[in-house]
């Protein structure tokens, strides 16, 4: 749609700006202020310059958390994106069963995140959970509170359970926008199922898939609630992802300076990803008109 | 305001950012421009290039601090070169 | 995203009939397995909430043999539980109302007009949707303590605006773009003022969009744990914080915890039922 040039539209946006400035800009400025100072409590601050940044950049703890975070995001992307596409390809295309699948698949997306954690915390327990009990009965040792590998498997399966449907629903929307003519042409060419997927469906889904990948990456990058409820970051620090570590530092130990420096770097990374996301999205919208 | 723990350096930092934004807004009003396509294959305006510059500079400073860890002001020279490159080619 | 037509059916176009039957069967199996995977954990939570604690801990049963509603009764009669729901509902409602009230005019401006810095403003709003709450937890705590709003519902409601306002603007903008601009112009020619036009004509046209936006604001505020837990201690403590607190205790009352979980799912499930026809559209916009 053509938009009219009208600078008075600023007045319509003003309430949002005031509100978001209050809840985003002021806190961010505070974080910057804290990041260059040390405190003994009671609002007694003194200047330390870039010391906290230097400390955090050389802190093994932060790099370890970042490493775990990247590993987590990479694993869930490699599982969720192909699985989501696969599910979308197998979904009924119309009729009652299509909406049935849509509603059922939306269900995990809309469960409160801490309840997602609770569900899997219970489900995976060896004594009372269906999953843990079954695995135990099959003779597989599985204890997510003690065993690092089991803890990782649990939070990954949980995230797959929670979010694969989002990828599937986005891919499904992309598939439905492919006109019939494409399939008819493929049929005339006697294209194989794989060729149809590779040369018709995949290119047509590229746009939504890009959005799905970026959304999943970003949300997994700042995941907090679900793993916190299930493992609390343990055993040891094995599942302490970036957000969990940051909250431990900021609110658990109340280390304002280091936590603030950590926050700023975390935020800068998120800012870059958001920018890529926004640029990709607006360019897609331009292309599709 | 006391809880925000203002210091002069951070205040100056935010004043510089705010005035840069103001300057670019005034520029955009006084001299409107068409977006152009740069090496990143995306359309950018002056405002976009400013954003890329600022964000990139933050990372340049962090990298300098992490790798070299001394003479931080020299990182700003790298940032200036980077800014010139962004405004010229992006 | 272009229009999602329902007649694109690759399945119906595959060549020979035996091949087709086999393919359909395959996809049914895949979908059944996938839905089973999605529903089993939820089923498990539901059965646990209907069991007594003795049954949960002492015997392993696939469905409640000793059916009981006592767990639900505990939650609905014990103030330390049900006040959590009341607190949550209060701040979530406040947040949804505030978010929609400020987002509606802004989304209209973004969908109809070009103005100085509109793209950058939109991007800036989005970054707040993407920002990790963990970054904001500490400054929010300081901010609301210093203005004396700590442990109040409005503090949590305002804090959740951080990500809900951008989300509402984003969703509403998508829906408003679908309304032809001629409608606005005709109304102005007919002598409607902006306010009257917006309330009387425009709002009903995007009612479904407002519904979807309200739903997602409600949901994200309802599911958020970190900020609401950080900003409250007693008076405004939300249900999610109460649920995580019980997990710290030595003897966990699993039945009650499961019942609390089921009860927090209910609003979401209800709303899905009401907006089921818009879900596909909401996801197709990619704006969730």
Stretch A95-106: mean pLDDT, rounded?
83
Per residue in C122-141, pLDDT tens?
888 888 888 888 888 888 98
C-alpha separations of A66 from A96, A163, C18 in Å:
45, 21, 52
Stretch A98-106: mean pLDDT, rounded?
84
Collect all residues of chain C within an 8 Å Cβ-Cβ radius of residue A194. Answer: none
Nearest CB to C120 within list B3, B4, B47: B47
Q: What is the pLDDT of residue B60?
A: 92
Q: In the structure, what pLDDT confidence band is assigned to residue C11 with cuts at 50, 70 and 90?
A: very low
Number of domains in chain A: 1
Given CB atoms, is B3 within the 8 Å cutoff of chain C?
yes
Residue A96 placed within a domain: yes
Per residue in A213-234, pLDDT tens?
888 888 898 888 888 888 887 7
Q: What is the pLDDT of residue C204?
A: 87
Given CB atoms, is A263 within the 8 Å cutoff of chain C?
yes
Q: What is the pLDDT of residue C283?
A: 56
Given CB atoms, is A173 within the 8 Å cutoff of chain C?
yes
Stretch C72-97: mean pLDDT, rounded?
89
Q: Chain B: list its partners (3+ Cβ pairs within 8 Å).
A: A, C
Residue A240 placed within a domain: yes
Phi, psi of A46, deg, nearest 5: -140, 155
Q: What is the pLDDT of residue C90?
A: 92
Nearest CB to A283 within list B42, B55, B58: B42
Q: In the structure, what pLDDT confidence band is assigned to residue C279 with cuts at 50, 70 and 90?
A: low
Collect all residues of chain C within an 8 Å Cβ-Cβ radius of residue A273. Answer: 130
Please tell me the distance in Å from A208's CA to the nearest CA on chain C. 7
CATH number at residue A68: 1.10.3720.10
Q: Reduced to 3 DSSP states, what percent helix, strand and coil does chain C have, rounded to the nearest 5? A: 75, 0, 25
Given CB atoms, is A250 within the 8 Å cutoff of chain C?
yes
Question: Could you give the CA distance from residue C211 to residue C135 in angstroms, rounded to a whole number?
Answer: 30
Per residue in C12-57, pLDDT tens?
444 444 444 455 578 888 899 999 999 999 998 898 888 887 777 7
Average model confidence (pLDDT) across chain A: 85
Q: In the structure, what pLDDT confidence band is assigned to residue A38 with cuts at 50, 70 and 90?
A: confident
For an interface test with A, the pick among B5, B32, B53, B56 (most A C-beta atoms closer than 10 Å) comes out as B5
Collect all residues of chain A within an 8 Å Cβ-Cβ radius of residue C38. Answer: 104-105, 107-108, 161, 165
Q: Which residue of B has its CA nearest to A271?
A: B55
Residue A117 placed within a domain: yes
The C-alpha angle C152, C134, C90, rounded to 5 degrees, equals 25
Q: In the structure, what pLDDT confidence band is assigned to residue B47 with cuts at 50, 70 and 90?
A: confident
Handedness of CA A186, A187, A191, A193 (dihedral sign): positive
Q: What is the pLDDT of residue B1?
A: 64
Q: Is the pLDDT of residue A105 over 80?
A: yes
β-pairing verdict for C113-114 and B43-44: unpaired
Nearest CB to C243 within list A114, A133, A187: A114
Q: Is the pLDDT of residue C146 over 90?
A: no
Given CB atoms, is B22 within the 8 Å cutoff of chain C?
no
Please tell me the distance in Å from A30's CA to the nearest CA on chain B. 5
B14–A30: do the CB atoms touch at under 8 Å? Answer: no
Residue A220 placed within a domain: yes
Nearest CB to B25 within list C117, C142, C146: C117
CB-CB contact of B61 with B72 (8 Å): yes
Q: In the structure, what pLDDT confidence band is assigned to residue A9 with cuts at 50, 70 and 90?
A: confident
Collect all residues of chain B within an 8 Å Cβ-Cβ radius of residue A39. Answer: 5
Q: What is the pLDDT of residue C234?
A: 81
Collect all residues of chain A within an 8 Å Cβ-Cβ radius of residue C274. Answer: none
- E strand or H helix at A143, and its extent? none
Q: What is the pLDDT of residue A10?
A: 87
Given CB atoms, is A275 within the 8 Å cutoff of chain B?
yes
Q: What is the pLDDT of residue C5?
A: 40
Question: Could you give the CA distance from residue C164 to residue C171 in angstroms, rounded to a whole number?
Answer: 10
**Cα-atom radius of gyration of chain A, to the nearest Å?**
23
Per residue in A147-190, pLDDT tens?
888 899 999 999 999 999 888 988 888 887 788 888 888 888 88
Handedness of CA A92, C4, A176, A276 (dihedral sign): negative
Q: In the structure, what pLDDT confidence band is assigned to residue A74 with cuts at 50, 70 and 90?
A: very high
Q: In the structure, what pLDDT confidence band is assigned to residue A41 with cuts at 50, 70 and 90?
A: low
Question: Could you give the CA distance from residue A111 to residue A120 in angstroms, rounded to a whole number?
Answer: 12
Average model confidence (pLDDT) across chain C: 81
Q: What is the pLDDT of residue C156?
A: 92
Q: What is the pLDDT of residue C242?
A: 82
B7–A37: do the CB atoms touch at under 8 Å? Answer: yes
Q: How many helices (H) and strands (E) does chain A have?
A: 14, 3
Q: In the structure, what pLDDT confidence band is assigned to residue A43 with cuts at 50, 70 and 90?
A: low
Q: Is the pLDDT of residue A39 over 70?
A: yes
Collect all residues of chain A within an 8 Å Cβ-Cβ radius of residue B7. Answer: 33, 36-37, 45, 47
Query: Looking at domain C71-284, does it have CATH number 3.40.50.720?
Result: no
The domain in which residue A260 lies consists of 61-288
Domain coordinates in residue numbering, chain C:
10-49, 71-284
Given CB atoms, is A265 within the 8 Å cutoff of chain C?
no
Residue A105 placed within a domain: yes
CB-CB contact of C166 with C129 (8 Å): yes
Provide CB contacts within 8 A for C272, sequence distance 6+: A103, A106, A107, A110, C279
Collect all residues of chain B within an 8 Å Cβ-Cβ radius of residue C143. Answer: 3
Collect all residues of chain A within an 8 Å Cβ-Cβ radius of residue B62. Answer: 53, 57, 265, 268
Q: Which residue of C has its CA nearest to A159?
A: C38
Task: Dig out the tokens for C95 from the structure.
Answer: 């947040």
Per residue in A249-282, pLDDT tens?
887 777 888 888 989 998 998 898 888 888 887 7
Per residue in C263-275, pLDDT tens?
888 877 887 777 7
Residue A44 placed within a domain: no
Interface ipTM: 0.89
Stretch A128-145: mean pLDDT, rounded?
84
């Amino acid at each position: 749609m053509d938009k009219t040039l009208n600078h008075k539209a600023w007045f319509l946006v003003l309430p949002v700006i005031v509100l978001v400035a209050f809840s985003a800009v002021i806190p961010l400025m505070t974080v910057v202020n804290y990041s260059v100072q040390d405190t003994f409590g009671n609002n007694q601050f003194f200047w330390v310059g870039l010391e906290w940044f230097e400390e955090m950049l050389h802190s093994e703890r932060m790099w370890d958390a970042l490493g775990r975070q990247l590993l987590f995001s990479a694993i869930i992307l490699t599982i969720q994106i192909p699985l989501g596409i696969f599910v979308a390809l197998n979904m009924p295309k119309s009729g009652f069963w299509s909406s049935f699948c849509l509603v059922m698949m939306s269900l995990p997306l809309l469960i409160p995140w801490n309840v997602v954690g609770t569900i899997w915390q219970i489900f995976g327990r060896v004594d009372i959970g269906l999953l843990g009990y079954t695995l135990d009965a099959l003779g597989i040792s599985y204890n997510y509170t003690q065993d690092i590998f089991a803890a990782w498997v649990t939070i990954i399966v949980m995230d797959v359970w929670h979010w694969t449907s989002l990828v599937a629903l986005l891919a499904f929307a992309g598939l439905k926008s492919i006109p019939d003519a494409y399939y008819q042409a493929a049929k005339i060419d006697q294209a194989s199922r794989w060729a149809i997927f590779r040369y018709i469906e995949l290119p047509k889904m590229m746009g939504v898939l890009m959005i799905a990948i970026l959304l999943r990456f970003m949300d997994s990058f700042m995941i907090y609630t679900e793993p916190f409820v299930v493992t609390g970051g343990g055993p040891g620090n094995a599942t302490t992802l970036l957000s969990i570590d940051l909250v431990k530092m900021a609110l658990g130990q109340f280390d304002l300076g280091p936590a603030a420096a950590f926050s700023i770097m975390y935020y800068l990374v998120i800012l870059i990803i958001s920018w890529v996301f926004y640029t990709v999205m607006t360019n897609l919208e331009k292309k599709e008109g | 305001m006391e809880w925000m723990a203002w210091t002069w350096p951070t205040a100056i930092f935010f004043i510089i950012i705010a005035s840069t934004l103001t300057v670019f807004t005034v520029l955009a009003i006084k001299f409107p421009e068409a977006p152009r396509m740069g090496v990143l294959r995306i359309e950018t305006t002056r405002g976009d290039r400013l954003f890329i510059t600022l964000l990139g500079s933050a990372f340049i400073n962090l990298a300098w601090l992490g790798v070299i860890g001394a003479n931080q002001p020299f990182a700003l020279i790298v940032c200036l070169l980077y800014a010139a490159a962004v405004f010229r080619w992006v | 995203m272009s229009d999602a037509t329902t007649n694109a059916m690759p399945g119906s176009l595959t060549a020979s009939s035996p091949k087709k039957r086999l393919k359909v069967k395959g996809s049914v199996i895949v979908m059944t397995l996938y839905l089973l995977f999605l529903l089993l954990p939820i089923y498990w939570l539901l059965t646990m909430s209907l069991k007594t604690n003795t049954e949960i801990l002492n015997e392993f049963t696939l469905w409640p043999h000793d059916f009981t509603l006592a767990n639900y009764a505990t939650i609905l009669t014990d103030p330390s539980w049900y006040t959590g729901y009341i607190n949550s509902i209060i701040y979530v409602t406040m947040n949804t109302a505030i978010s929609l009230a400020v987002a509606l005019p802004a989304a209209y401006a973004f969908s109809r007009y070009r103005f100085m810095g509109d793209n950058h403003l939109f991007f800036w709003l989005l970054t707040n949707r993407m920002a990790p709450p963990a970054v904001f937890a500490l400054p929010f705590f300081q901010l609301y303590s210093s203005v004396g709003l700590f442990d109040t519902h409005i503090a949590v409601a305002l804090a959740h605006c951080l990500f809900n306002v951008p989300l509402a603007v984003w969703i509403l903008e998508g829906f408003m773009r679908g309304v032809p601009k001629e409608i606005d112009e005709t109304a102005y020619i007919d002598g409607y003022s902006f306010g009257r036009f917006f309330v009387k004509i425009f709002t009903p046209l995007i009612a479904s969009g407002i519904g979807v936006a309200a739903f997602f604001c409600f949901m994200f505020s309802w599911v958020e744990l970190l900020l609401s837990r950080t900003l409250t201690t007693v008076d405004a403590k939300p249900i999610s914080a109460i649920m995580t607190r019980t997990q710290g205790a030595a003897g966990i009352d699993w039945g009650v915890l499961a019942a609390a979980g089921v009860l927090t799912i209910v609003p979401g499930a209800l709303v899905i039922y009401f907006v089921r026809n818009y879900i596909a559209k909401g996801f197709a916009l990619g704006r969730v």
